[in-house]
Chain A
Amino acid sequence: MPDSTPHPSPLELSSPDKTFLDSNELILNMGPQHPATHGVLRVILKLDGEKVLGVECVIGYLHRGVEKIGENRTYAMFNPYVDRMDYVAAVSNGLGYCETVEKLLQIEAPPRANYIRVILTELNRLASHMLWLGTHALDIGAMTPLFYTFRDREEILKIFEKYCGARLTTHAFRIGGCLYETYDGFERDVKKFIDFVPPKIDEYEELLTSNRIWVERTKNVGKISAADCKALGVTGPVLRASGVKWDIRKALPYAAYPDFDFEIPVGANGDTYDRYLVRMQEMRQSLRIIRQAVEGLPEGPIMAKVPKVMKPPAGEVYHSIEAPKGELGYFIVSDGSTQPYRVRVRPPSFVNLQALDLMVRGQLVADVIAVIGTLDIVLGEVDR
């Protein structure tokens, strides 16, 4: 087994005054209101000067009891709630949930619906990565990329808005397929967008990829090995940047992904810079998938035959998709009634955030910020 030693709680919270300014140790409380914790994450840092001896994350400030709500809503009613978890990648959340329930109901979405799902999910992945890039760069001190990424993300949100009327929490899909047919000019808009974005990605890379300060700030920062990633359950771009070529879209394909030709970008060192490069590559791969999907968009129905009142047979199912942040899984237990007996969400951010302690030990305060940024967490998903 790789490094699987249990790491004890880094801090003795019960006696904070014991260590204050004692033998150069300092407890620094970062958050829950802090510009760089991406929401209401509270990180307690134990410092020796500027060196981090350990961190403890205090989470739950955004806990809304999504899983409990799921047990008290019908399958269809719970669908919009999942959008509120990872609110920057709401479409992915919806896709995961719909596919899980479809699996439970043993129905399959028609091909056209699957293609639309892929297009929107990949657009959402782009939007999520753009937001990550902007905030990550801002954390490291580069202000300007934030505005560039928000400008381009706006185009994606416009497509969402035209498609389903919502920009952020879209509720784009329904169990069994899609509710909305594509609007007139959907394909034109998407094609225009995928022609418009590559030069913009070049622009971001021009600002950052070979920028000396950026490279110095991110290379060898927050390193994590492939073995540690697997032991900690870290998934998504973080895992791939450590050199593991694993993507659920390829490993356990879902929706229409088997039809498309794309590559899984991997890194070598597992440091912040590699994660940055992997995500930049992923953005380009997503564009590739969208191009294939929109060019091969089949005709046909967009909704499978779904009973008005959904009563899946008793049983349980776990299904996961590759969300922008990693493996997003849903474990649903049905007792044959109209409401799920138990809904469990396996949030990628929650599990990835656990690696923060390992990644920042022995590094500097400024690196904590960089690593929180590179983990790409959304607190709505961590806390649910």
Chain B
Amino acid sequence: MSEETKSPPPGSAGEPKPAGRPWVSPLVTKLKTRYGSGVFEASTCLGQNCLVLDSSITHEILNILSEEEEFDYCVDITAVHYPKREKPFDLVWILYSFPRNQRLRVKTMLAEQESFPSSIPIWSGTNWLEREVYDMFGIRFDGHPDLRRILLPEDWKGYPLRKDYGIIEQDQEWVQANLGIESGQ
């Protein structure tokens, strides 16, 4: 617990602070002894466990979670954009363990243009989920075999789920060129 108080997660300005309690479990203790200050936070909020990790060790920890701690099902990968923060992206994994019947949320923070190792080797189902994160936020995943846009057209410009992308904004050039709508709206 001492590390947590010593080194708060960098650049937490603008981020909503969850009102959670610290999460105490053998898993957390194990991770903390192994990685020390890389584990920024382990909390339980509204009955849900959450780990906040340093981006450099997250991939390794995901590997451990999958192989040693039986988190054999990656429910979802998503991201949250906090434009005012120094590291503006939260990358979130929601994991589930069939043997333990337990959910776990893993978060890490990424800077603009920072890429992250793909988790396809760990859970092959993360392929499309990572593509969607790339599509919507522009976060790149290293080692992804097929990192293309998935929901939006391939030559679309901009990443719609970033906070600086307005609700009625769209790639007007694309709309004009491909849909033949003059106004681009």
Contact = CB atoms under 8 A, between A and B. Distances in A.
A354 interface: yes
Interface of B: 16-20, 45-46, 48, 50, 66-67, 72-76, 78, 80-81, 92, 94, 98, 101, 103, 105, 118, 120-129, 132, 136, 143-146, 149-153, 160-161, 165, 167
Given A59-B150, A329-B94, A318 B105 contact: yes
A318 B75 CA distance: 11
A5 B143 CA distance: 12
A313 B46 CA distance: 11
The secondary-structure label for the interface of chain B is: loop
Interface of A: 1-9, 59-60, 63, 65, 67-69, 71-72, 103-104, 106, 230-234, 244, 246, 251-252, 313-318, 320, 327, 329, 331, 333-336, 341-342, 344, 346, 350-351, 353-355, 383-384
B90 to A, nearest CB: 8
Which residue, B67, B118, B126, B144, has most C-beta atoms of chain A within 10 A? B126
23 contacts: A3-B124, A7-B124, A8-B145, A9-B146, A63-B151, A63-B152, A69-B167, A106-B46, A231-B124, A232-B124, A233-B74, A246-B98, A252-B103, A314-B16, A315-B16, A316-B18, A316-B50, A317-B46, A331-B78, A344-B92, A346-B78, A350-B132, A354-B128
Contacts of A354: 125, 127-128
B102 to A, nearest CB: 9
B18 A232 contact: no
B101 A252 contact: yes
B72 A230 contact: yes
B74 A1 contact: no
Contacts of B78: 331, 344, 346
B145 A9 contact: yes
B145 A334 contact: no
Nearest to B67: A1
A169 to B, nearest CB: 21
Q: Which 6 A-B pairs have the closest CB atoms?
A: A314-B16, A233-B125, A232-B125, A60-B151, A9-B146, A315-B18
Contacts of B128: 350-351, 353-354
A334 B124 CA distance: 30
B167 A60 contact: no
B48 to A, nearest CB: 6
Contact of B92 (A71, A315, A331): A331
Nearest to A351: B125
B16 A231 contact: no
Contacts of A232: 123-125
Nearest to B78: A344
Contacts of B126: 233
Contact of A72 (B98, B150, B151, B167): B167
Nearest to A358: B124
B16 A341 contact: yes
A72 B16 CA distance: 17
Nearest to B129: A351
B75 A329 contact: yes
Nearest to A58: B150
A333 B151 contact: no
Contacts of A251: 101
A329 B76 contact: yes
A342 B150 contact: no
B151 A383 contact: yes
A313 B20 CA distance: 11
Contacts of B92: 331, 344
